[in-house]
Structure 1
Amino acid sequence: MQTSFDVIVVGGGPCGTIAAEQLIKSGYSVALIDPDNRIKPCGGAIPNRAIKDFAIPEHMLVAKANAARVIAPSGNAVEMRIGDIGFVGMVDRETFDPYLRRRAASAGAAAIKGKLAHMEEASDGTLDLTIEPTANDCPKTPYQLKAKMVIGADGANSAVRRAMFPSSKKPPYVFAYHEIVESPADADADRFQADRCDVVYDGRISPDFYGWVFPHGNQTSVGCGSAVKGHSLRQATQDLREQAGLSGQTTIRREGAPLPLRPMRRWDNGKNVVLAGDAAGTVAPSSGEGIYYAMLCGVLAADAVAASLATGKAAALKNARRRFMKDHGRIFLILRIMQGVWYRNDRLRERFVTMCADPDVQRLTWESYLNKKLVRRDPLAHVRVFFKDLGQLAGLPAGHK
């Protein structure tokens, strides 16, 4: 068994697998460490751009959503149809993540089933990692691996971050919980549609985030998130199931995990470690979207590590965060402001949903989401949305000029 690598990637989700695949293509030896024993709670939505940029095959999409419905505390609902500009692909993390791990292994990465137990820097500047095996068919005795560089793509509770960064260096979280249930064969279209994602803005479901009902073909993800202690995510999820007509559907699995909502100010340790994906906090505020950003971070982290190895300059590791924030920092800031403004109470949530009925809001929202960049071709639409936004905040009627 090979025990020394140019790069060890810890975490075999969308971020780590893409990073490993990218580094193999650049000619480096790579180990990909993942316990392969859990499924992350996730709505499973990926935009057009993720499918194109990362060559996601059609068979990995368990459904295609053509609309989203946002629901206010009063029950007022606004349907936002995508139209002919694309669709939202839905994946199931139970099958999607293993597919990506197999893809990285096929490219040449050494796929290792295990979890990081300890990590420290050796006297020669390399990194020593202690791995605890998790595969059922092998001894559980910990063993050592060595690497020149490590990418920590091991989620919000990153063991890499805890080992190599100060304990104070972590992003803020909400806690996400969902249940995967069987999709109904004959659903009430007013309550559930197989090609529509429902997003519920209601303080009873989440006092600071939102709830969701995301169909995945034969299965559906129902869940919510919150950072408020004492708020029962399980009860809120039961309420969501009742609202969507899913109470009687068989529950397939239940999952929960913290969800970071702000990129860390620094992703590298200035030497030989860089964080990426959830470990670096790159989940979009307001929406909680993470798969596309995780995969993008995998590419950026791999490029930064490759540049550092090629030049011998640790400063190159900073490029991962620098490139991410250059392209997406403004969007993250806007989403964080939006969450801070509109998610404060049910009165504002009600106005937010009302604003979503506006055609300009819907078009800009879908174009930005699907293409992952701010829409610049219609500046007047942004101006119109800005003033409508102010009107909603001030409580002015929708038709006020």
Structure 2
Amino acid sequence: MMDYDIAIIGLGPAGATLARLLNPNLKVIAFDKKQQTGEQGFQKPCGGLLATDSQRSFVRFNLNLPTSVLANPQIFSVKTFDLQTQIIRNYQRTYVNINRHQFDLWLKTLIPQTVDVRHDTLCKQMIKQDDGYQITFVENGIEQQVSARFVVGADGANSMIRRNLYPDHQIRKYLSIQQWFEDCHPVPFYSCIFDRAVTDCYSWSISKDGYFIIGGAFEMKNANQRFEQLKEKLIPYAFTFNKVLKTEKCVVLCPSKFSDFRCGKDNLFLIGEAAGFISASSLEGISYALDSAEILSKIFNANDATPNKTYHTRTLKLRIKLFSKMVKAAILTSPLLRKWIMKSKISHISVENQFGRQ
């Protein structure tokens, strides 16, 4: 007999949503590195913006965001900088500005009491058994073991489950770096920044609750140096950086081919970024975390006889959608194509702000 039917590793948006949606008759254990209060365990560089697809998921879930997770102000546009051509454009967007850490903690509070949640816990090892898996984890400094029939990796870019399942598969990775400052800009703003000399991915900034956040995704080699170079290049554009209040870093996946999406096998499953479900064009992953968790929950709740096969089939539309993001990323990160698009002023809204008339 297994101790649990399902073990979930990681309680970010993907893991917490899956844990919430599972039938209460299933015996579920969930592990999370974060504490339920405070900042311990959370170091994810994230602009903290809910895209339209994420908002649509909450409509399906019949959930409303509490004001405690909302950030001030709510910004309705993204200012796009092409530092190589010095072109600046302003585009309307319908993001919801949130405190990402508080958002994750709120999602955890929605998990029903029927789920055995272990906070501030580190999973160290997973060993296959005849009818399931044995998981070794450390909680309060004590090493423990449990067994489960199914194991779900919701543990992000450095997923232990993904590494065990696909040790030879290489997916493109960046080091995401984000710093927080006191916001001294006269008008809060959100920006998207492109500069091929700094990174072939992209960078961002956002005003949030009196802070100014600047971040970017950089090649692993010389990432810190490239990040500092980016900040220096932004100063002539009226970006203001004073004393660094906090620095966050983590590895982020950036799929570049269809085979980078991995769903799992042998009663092991991957959801969210652990599966490679993240947009190559914006590095947005919350919406795909919510969607993949919802898909897998329905499969488990139906007691599907072939859950791995069914999950792979039902995520096909999601994977095709993410593949289209790779095409979009290729266009956005191409200096020539990006220059043409931005010079055309398609969808650009002219405004007056601290950057002048644009």
**TM-score under structure 1 length normalisation:** 0.75
The reply to whether residue 277 of structure 1 matches residue 272 of structure 2 is yes
> Are the aligned partners of 2:43 and 2:249 in contact in 1 as well (CA < 8 Å)?
no
Q: Name the SS of the counterpart of 2:245 in structure 1.
A: strand
Q: How many residues align?
A: 329
Correspondence for 1:215 among 198, 207, 212: 207
> Are the aligned partners of 1:205 and 1:224 in contact in 2 as well (CA < 8 Å)?
no
Distance 1:171 1:38, change over 3 A: same
Q: Which amino acid aligns with 1:147?
A: A
- Alpha-carbon distance, 1:77 to partner: 0.7
Name the counterpart of 1:335: 325
The reply to whether residue 323 of structure 1 matches residue 324 of structure 2 is no
Distance 1:16 1:30, change over 3 A: same
- Alpha-carbon distance, 1:272 to partner: 1.2
Distance 1:320 1:62, change over 3 A: farther
CA offsets 1:283-302 (integer angstroms, 9 cap, x no match):
10111111111121221222
> Are the aligned partners of 1:286 and 1:338 in contact in 2 as well (CA < 8 Å)?
yes
Correspondence for 2:33 among 32, 35, 40: 35
> Are the aligned partners of 1:204 and 1:236 in contact in 2 as well (CA < 8 Å)?
no
Q: Which amino acid aligns with 1:40?
A: K
- Alpha-carbon distance, 1:14 to partner: 0.6
> Are the aligned partners of 2:279 and 2:325 in contact in 1 as well (CA < 8 Å)?
yes
Q: Name the SS of the counterpart of 1:251 in structure 2.
A: coil
- Alpha-carbon distance, 1:340 to partner: 2.4
Q: Name the SS of the counterpart of 2:147 in structure 1.
A: strand
Map 1:249-264; keep pairs closer than 5 Å: 250-262=243-255, 264=260
Q: Name the SS of the counterpart of 1:229 in structure 2.
A: coil
Q: Please give the alpha-carbon distance, in whole angstroms, between the structure 1 residues aligned to 2:168 and 2:87.
A: 42
The reply to whether residue 50 of structure 1 matches residue 54 of structure 2 is yes
Name the counterpart of 2:38: none
Q: Please give the alpha-carbon distance, in whole angstroms, between the structure 2 residues aligned to 1:301 and 1:282.
A: 14
The reply to whether residue 290 of structure 1 matches residue 272 of structure 2 is no
Distance 1:151 1:218, change over 3 A: same
What value does the CA root-mean-square deviation take over the aligned residues?
2.4
CA offsets 1:191-217 (integer angstroms, 9 cap, x no match):
xx42x42101112342x1111112223
The reply to whether residue 266 of structure 1 matches residue 272 of structure 2 is no
> Are the aligned partners of 1:62 and 1:217 in contact in 2 as well (CA < 8 Å)?
yes
Q: Name the SS of the counterpart of 1:65 in structure 2.
A: coil
Q: Which amino acid aligns with 2:96?
A: G
Q: Name the SS of the counterpart of 2:315 in structure 1.
A: helix
Distance 1:275 1:246, change over 3 A: same
Q: Name the SS of the counterpart of 1:334 in structure 2.
A: helix
Q: Which amino acid aligns with 1:202?
A: D
- Alpha-carbon distance, 1:16 to partner: 0.5
Distance 1:183 1:322, change over 3 A: farther
- Alpha-carbon distance, 1:10 to partner: 0.2
Name the counterpart of 1:62: 71
Q: Which amino acid aligns with 1:252?
A: L
Name the counterpart of 2:168: 168
Name the counterpart of 1:22: 21
CA offsets 1:209-246 (integer angstroms, 9 cap, x no match):
11111222322321111236335343145336634533
Gaps of 5+ in 2: 35-40, 350-358
Name the counterpart of 2:191: 198
The reply to whether residue 71 of structure 1 matches residue 81 of structure 2 is yes
Map 1:349-360; keep pairs closer than 5 Å: 349-355=338-344, 357-359=345-347
> Are the aligned partners of 2:80 and 2:191 in contact in 1 as well (CA < 8 Å)?
yes
Q: Please give the alpha-carbon distance, in whole angstroms, between the structure 2 residues aligned to 1:240 and 1:305.
A: 50
Q: Name the SS of the counterpart of 1:157 in structure 2.
A: coil
Q: Name the SS of the counterpart of 2:201 in structure 1.
A: coil
Map 1:368-379; keep pairs closer than 5 Å: none
- Alpha-carbon distance, 1:282 to partner: 0.6
Q: Please give the alpha-carbon distance, in whole angstroms, between the structure 2 residues aligned to 1:319 and 1:110.
A: 26
Name the counterpart of 1:369: none
**TM-score under structure 2 length normalisation:** 0.83
Q: Please give the alpha-carbon distance, in whole angstroms, between the structure 2 residues aligned to 1:213 and 1:103.
A: 30
Correspondence for 1:111 among 110, 113, 117: 117
Name the counterpart of 2:219: 227
Question: More helix per residue: 1 or 2?
Answer: 1
Name the counterpart of 2:356: none
Distance 1:352 1:295, change over 3 A: same
Question: More strand per residue: 1 or 2?
Answer: 2
Q: Name the SS of the counterpart of 1:209 in structure 2.
A: strand
> Are the aligned partners of 2:154 and 2:270 in contact in 1 as well (CA < 8 Å)?
yes
